Amino acid sequence: MIEAFIFDLDGVITDTANYHYLAWKALGDKLGIKIDEEFNETLKGISRMESLERILIYGNKQNDFTVKEKEKMANDKNQYYVELIKNISPKDILPGIEKLLKDIKSNNIKIGLASASKNATMVLENLGLKESFDFIADASKCKNSKPNPEIFLMAAKGLGINPINCIGVEDAIAGIDAINDANMYSVGVGDESSLGKANIVFSDTNKLNFKYIVENYSCCSNC
Ligand code: B16
Ligand code: MG
């Protein structure tokens, strides 16, 4: 029985990926590491510090900086990112999301957030959606980045729901792996060929369909 929906934020509720991209690109330019959109794709769902480590490896500069210097770089990136997301408003909610949240609520099912972003609460506030969420998992308390299931399990725990009664919604491969390893039912949003490990995939948020998810979940848990 479905008792909760647990959402990823970036790429599912709103599209902040481009802001992360611009902020990492600005840092990359300073370091002489060229970050393109294709490489940025590999950072989706990955925590701030781990993203920085991946960027340094990508630019073959992984041994060039102290921990303190890396912390400063991550901080600078975040300051720029926070500046960029200041103007986010309800018009930035991805299509289909408000309808899905409404359908979930009207069926008395809980709603949680499992985002790797430490800025998640501020983004939800700017979108005017914070009150729609019963629990927001705190990424700063999460030790293991997706694909580790920790952040989804934190959200289920915070909601007081058994993971097998949760539906996880994600746009990143690392996120789908995290949902599956948390023993939840996984709903992917995006390209079916890359999100193939999800229980079901919708090509974009506008196609997300509450009834269809519920029917497929019941079918899946009965076989
Ligand atoms: P922050 P999600 C993730 O959000 C982003 O996809 C990823 O690009 C970002 O590095 C990560 O949050 C951490 O974000 O720097 O704001 O703490 O997809 O898990 O909602
Ligand atoms: Mg995402």
The answer on pLDDT for 217 being more than 60 is yes
The answer on pLDDT for 223 being more than 60 is no
User: Of all protein residues, whose CA lies closest to atom 13 belonging to ligand 1?
Assistant: 117
Other C-beta atoms closer than 10 Å to the C-beta of 70 total 16
- Residue pair 172/185 in contact (Cβ under 8 Å)? The answer is no
The pLDDT-based confidence of 218 (bands split at 50, 70, 90) is confident
Distance 12 CA to ligand 2 centre (A): 6
Instruction: Collect all residues with Cβ–Cβ distance below 8 Å to 142 and sequence separation of at least 6.
Output: 47, 116, 150, 151, 154
Note the pLDDT tens digit of each residue in 11-20. 999 999 889 9
Nearest ligand 1 atom to the CA of 119 is 16
Q: Phi and psi at residue 20, in whole multiples of 5°?
A: -60, -40
Ligand positioned closest to the Cα atom of 123 = 1
Mean pLDDT, to the nearest integer, of 156-176? Answer: 96
Domain edges within the chain: 4-13+93-222, 17-85
Does the beta carbon of 110 lie inside 6 Å of ligand 1? no
pLDDT at residue 37 in the model: 86
Does the beta carbon of 11 lie inside 6 Å of ligand 1? yes
Instruction: Collect all residues with Cβ–Cβ distance below 8 Å to 106 and sequence separation of at least 6.
Output: none
Does the beta carbon of 119 lie inside 6 Å of ligand 1? yes
Mean pLDDT, to the nearest integer, of 109-137? Answer: 97
Other C-beta atoms closer than 10 Å to the C-beta of 27 total 17
Note the pLDDT tens digit of each residue in 54-99. 999 999 999 999 999 999 999 999 999 999 999 999 999 999 999 9
Burial 90-120 (b: 16+ CB within 10 A, else e): eebbbebbbebbebbeeeebbbbbbbbbebb
The answer on pLDDT for 214 being more than 70 is yes
Residue 10 annotated among the catalytic residues of the structure = yes
pLDDT at residue 186 in the model: 97
**Which of 24, 48, 179 best tests ligand 1's pocket when mutated (most atoms within 8 Å of CB)?**
48
* Per-residue CA distances from 57 to 52, 64, 83, 100 (Å): 9, 10, 27, 39
Instruction: Collect all residues with Cβ–Cβ distance below 8 Å to 182 and sequence separation of at least 6.
Output: 149, 152, 153, 156, 163, 166, 168
Q: Phi and psi at residue 182, in whole multiples of 5°?
A: -85, 0
Residue 8 annotated among the catalytic residues of the structure = yes
Is 17-85 assigned to CATH 1.25.40.10? no
The answer on pLDDT for 118 being more than 90 is yes
Model-level pTM? 0.92
Mean pLDDT, to the nearest integer, of 102-123? Answer: 97
Q: How far apart are CA 112 and CA 6, in angstroms?
A: 4
Which residue intervals of 32-172 are DSSP H helices?
A: 37-41, 48-58, 67-85, 97-106, 120-127, 150-159
CATH class of the domain comprising 4-13+93-222: alpha beta
Q: How far apart are CA 156 and CA 165, in angstroms?
A: 9
pLDDT at residue 221 in the model: 60
Higher pLDDT, 145 or 180: 180
